[in-house]
Amino acid sequence: MTGDEKGRVRTSVHIHWGVTEECPRNGKMTSLSVDSCFIQTKAEVIVGQTIHVDLKNSLGSPLMLRGEIYYRLERLGFGVRFAEVSEEEREKLKEIIARAGRGNED
């Protein structure tokens, strides 16, 4: 995983997501920042749709976020902008991003 100047890291992490907190769908999160992520999946989604993203099992830190799909690339995936992120959730995201950035410094 590598980072950029905006605190976004490239990832390759399998996650679960869905319109309900049960998150029945899966995909691969290929980038993450404290504000958003990109989920690689062939699933059809609607821009503006609210979804839940379950990071707790994928990245070792319990975290369930809600966000809005703000763009999609047909048959490739979509971008999610996180909504109503608490300070505690933001700190957990920062920890995940820092750990991800350290995990691939070769």
Residue 38 domain-assigned (yes or no):
yes
Q: Is residue 106 part of a domain?
A: no
pLDDT at 57: 56
58 found inside a domain? yes
87 contacts: CB under 8 Å, gap ≥ 6? none
Give me the domain span that covers residue 47.
9-101
Whether 28 has a pLDDT exceeding 60, the answer reads yes
Structure tokens at 43: 């699933």
Number of folded domains that form the chain: 1
pLDDT, tens only, 35-91: 999 999 999 999 999 999 998 755 566 789 999 999 999 999 999 999 999 999 998
Q: The pTM is what? A: 0.84
Residue 73's domain is classified under what CATH number? 2.40.10.220
